[in-house]
Amino acid sequence: MPRVGERKRGKEISNKIIEGSRWYIWAECIKCRKGRWIQERYNRAKRFTGLCHSCRSHLLGKANWKGGIKRSHGYILIQVPDHPRASRQGYVREHILIWERANGNSLPEGWVIHHYNGIKHDNRPSNLLAMPNKKHELYICSLQRRIQELEGELARQGLLL
């Protein structure tokens, strides 16, 4: 068994180590005392935390865990597995949760939340409006028509590039 801090070249340790000419140092986990060879450059760069992979995972949690929050198509998603509108992965769009909390009831089936300013991640309660899906589709069509009218007017005035 190597001693902590012992230095060897990769080819001296094993024929399986690809970097045969690099220096390696024997290091032990400060928690479970499991030992392993680490490249000396990583030890010098202070990348070795003193913990093995499994102890670091238990201490810090999963490396990809972002607290149950992620983004998708401009929306912020929150992990709430028991919510009626949760996806198969257990995520709900944040604006639904905020609207429900602000209004004290759940969003009715077939209803959607509209963002007044069109910014999908601007989830201030004052920016959210609940409406039936069909009404929302008509509302979006009317907004698009109005945008086209305004663009046409700006083009006639020579102000639109």
Query: Please, which residues have CB within 8 angstroms of residue 29's CB and are 6 or more apart in sequence?
Result: 35, 50, 51, 52, 55
pLDDT for residue 34: 83
pLDDT band of residue 85 (cuts 50, 70, 90) is very high
Is there a contact between 48 and 38 (Cβ–Cβ < 8 Å)? yes
For residues 145-157, average pLDDT: 92
Nearest to 55 by CA among 31, 78, 38: 31
The pLDDT of residue 46 is 47
For residue 73, what is the DSSP state? T
Beta bridge partners of 79: 91
pLDDT digits (tens, 9 = 90+) for 115-144: 998 898 888 889 999 999 999 999 989 999
- Ranking 21-25, 88-92, 112-116, 138-142 by mean pLDDT, the lowest is 21-25
How many C-beta atoms lie closer than 10 Å to residue 55's C-beta? 16
Cα radius of gyration rounded to whole Å, the chain: 28
Q: Cα(136)–Cα(144) distance, rounded to whole angstroms?
A: 12
Q: Alpha carbon 48 to chain centroid distance?
A: 25
pLDDT of residue 75: 92
Q: Note the pLDDT tens digit of each residue in 25-83.
A: 787 776 677 888 777 765 443 455 566 777 666 655 565 666 678 888 999 898 888 89
d(CA 80, CA 64): 18
What pLDDT, on a 0 to 100 scale, did the predictor assign at position 2? 82
User: Please, where are the H alpha helices in the chain?
Assistant: 10-13, 40-44, 53-60, 94-103, 133-156
Predicted TM-score (pTM) of the model is 0.56
Are 40 and 25 a contacting pair, CB within 8 Å? yes
Segment holding 91, helix H or strand E: strand 91-93
What is the DSSP secondary structure assignment for residue 30, as one 8-state letter?
T
